[in-house]
Amino acid sequence: MSKQILVLTGAGISAESGLKTFRDSGGLWEDHAIEDVATPEGFAADPELVWRFYKMRYQQAEQARPNAGHYALAELEEVLGEQFHIITQNVDGLHQKAGSKRVLEMHGRLKRCFCTDCHKRYEMSRTDLSLPVPVCDACRSVLRPDIVWFGEIPYYLSEIDQLLRNCDLFLVIGTSGVVYPAAGFVLTARYHGARTISINPNEPANNTHFDECIQSKAGDFLPSFVAELKQQVLT
Ligand code: APR
Ligand code: ZN
26: left (phi over 0), alpha (psi -120 to 50) or beta: left
**pLDDT given for residue 55 in this prediction:** 97
Collapsing DSSP to helix, strand or coil, 210 comes out as coil
Q: What is the pLDDT along the chain (235 residues), one digit of tens a residue?
A: 458 999 999 999 999 999 999 999 899 998 899 999 999 999 999 999 999 999 999 999 999 999 999 999 999 999 999 999 999 999 999 999 999 999 999 999 999 999 999 999 999 999 999 999 999 999 999 999 999 999 999 999 999 999 999 999 999 999 999 999 999 999 999 999 999 999 999 999 999 999 999 999 999 999 999 999 988 887 7
Side by side, which strands form the sheet with 84-88? Answer: 103-105, 84-88, 5-9, 169-173, 195-199, 212-214
Please name each of the domains of the chain with its CATH number. Answer: 1-19+66-107+154-235 (3.40.50.1220), 20-63+109-147 (3.30.1600.10)
Nearest bound ligand to the CA of residue 120: 2
107 is a catalytic site residue: yes
**pLDDT given for residue 231 in this prediction:** 87
Q: How far apart are CA 114 and CA 85, in angstroms?
A: 26
Of these residues, 85, 95, 107, 209, which one is catalytic?
107
Residue whose C-alpha is closest to residue 226's, from 73, 81, 85: 73
Q: Beta-carbon neighbour count of residue 52 at 10 Å? A: 15
Nearest CA residue ID for atom 17, ligand 1: 175
Q: Concatenated DSSP letters for 141-190?
A: PBEEEEE--TTSPPTTHHHHHHHHHH-SEEEEES--S-STTGGGHHHHHH
Pocket test for ligand 1, best of 23, 104, 180 (most atoms within 8 A of CB): 23
Residue whose C-alpha is closest to residue 161's, from 170, 152, 149, 173: 170
**pLDDT given for residue 232 in this prediction:** 86
Consecutive H or E run containing 70: helix 68-80
